[in-house]
């Protein structure tokens, strides 16, 4: 996938994409890569990392609420919110906290290799980026496997039947966009959709009454509308 996208990208590319694409190539060359960490205040570097479709999740470290919401619409991105933009002096501490968050939320397995994309003059990679390689905290424990003869897939010799049914599933990198009519505007349904992984809520206002639309999030003051603050909301 990386080579295909690279071959069809007009050349020459800019400085930011040149560095980010090299970092994304590490996802191909490093088989144990667990996460790509990107410091991005505008989403530029993070979106370029997603462009090259790394096989692992992308953790976007940002202080921007807009970028946090935007991660719900972009391939493989998960947000890590900072209270303020990280400086070069704060970068090491921010990387440590972000990797711990990635391990705690099962975005990255413990002890996995991590690629960090940050900036030269500041931690923000949207300006003059650089990248390096580090290791996530912890030690990975291999899941227990059942004894007996394994059934190996014809498509990949490294995938067995026990691994197919293993709880060690890969992290989801695609996004869920829900188009909702009046039947989905109540608190319980919205809460269930958010808990199930909804990233984008599209409210279809071609149905329902004017009164119902006025009560629906984000116009209404119900609890789910507050929960939607980290999701993308579109009205139509």
My answer on whether 103 and 211 are in the same domain is no
Of the two residues 211 and 52, the one the predictor is more confident about is: 52
Residues 38 and 131 in one domain: yes
Q: Determine whether 159 is exposed, middle or buried from the number of CB atoms within 10 Å of its CB (0-12, 13-18, 19+).
A: middle
Is residue 172 included in any domain, yes or no?
no
- Count the domains in the chain: 2
Instruction: Say what the pLDDT of residue 205 is.
Output: 76
Tokens 């493989």 found at: 76
Q: Are residues 9 and 114 in the same domain?
A: yes
Angle at 194 (CA atoms; ends 189, 195), nearest 5 degrees: 95
| Other CB atoms within 10 A of residue 170 CB | 8
Last residue of a domain, one of 82, 110, 135: 135
User: Hey, what are 228's tokens?
Assistant: 């939607």
Query: Could you tell me which residues are beta bridge partners of residue 232?
Result: 200
CATH number at residue 12: 3.40.1380.20
Which residue do the tokens 């400085």 mark?
A: 15
Count Cβ atoms within 10 A of the Cβ of residue 61 and give its class: 0-12 exposed, 13-18 middle, 19 or more buried: buried
Summarised one tens digit per residue, pLDDT across range 117-176 is 999 989 999 999 999 999 999 887 665 555 555 554 445 555 566 665 665 566 777 788
Give me the domain span that covers residue 224. 177-235
pLDDT of 6 higher than 50: yes
pLDDT in tens, 82-117: 999 999 999 999 999 999 999 999 999 999 999 999
Tell me the average pLDDT across 216-235.
54
């Amino acid at each position: 996938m990386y080579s295909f996208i690279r071959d069809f990208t007009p050349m020459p590319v800019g400085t930011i994409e040149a560095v980010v694409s090299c970092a994304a190539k590490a996802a191909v060359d490093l088989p144990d890569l667990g996460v790509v960490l990107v410091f991005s205040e505008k989403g530029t570097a993070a979106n370029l990392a997603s462009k090259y479709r790394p096989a692992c999740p992308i953790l976007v470290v940002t202080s921007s609420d807009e970028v946090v919401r935007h991660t719900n619409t972009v391939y493989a991105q998960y947000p890590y919110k900072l209270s303020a933009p990280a400086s070069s002096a704060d970068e090491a501490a921010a990387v440590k906290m972000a990797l711990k968050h990635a391990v705690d939320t099962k975005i990255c397995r413990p002890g996995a290799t991590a690629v960090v994309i940050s900036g030269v003059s500041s931690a923000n990679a949207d300006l003059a980026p650089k990248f390096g390689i580090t290791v996530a905290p912890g030690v990975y424990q291999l899941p227990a496997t059942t004894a007996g003869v394994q059934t190996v897939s014809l498509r990949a010799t490294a995938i067995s039947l026990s691994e197919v049914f293993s709880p060690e599933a890969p992290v989801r990198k695609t996004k869920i966009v829900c188009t909702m009519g009046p039947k989905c505007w109540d608190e319980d349904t919205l809460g269930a959709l958010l808990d199930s992984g909804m990233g984008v809520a599209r409210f279809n206002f071609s149905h329902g009454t004017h009164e119902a639309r006025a009560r629906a999030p984000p116009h209404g003051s119900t609890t789910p509308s507050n929960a939607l603050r980290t999701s993308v909301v579109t009205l139509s």
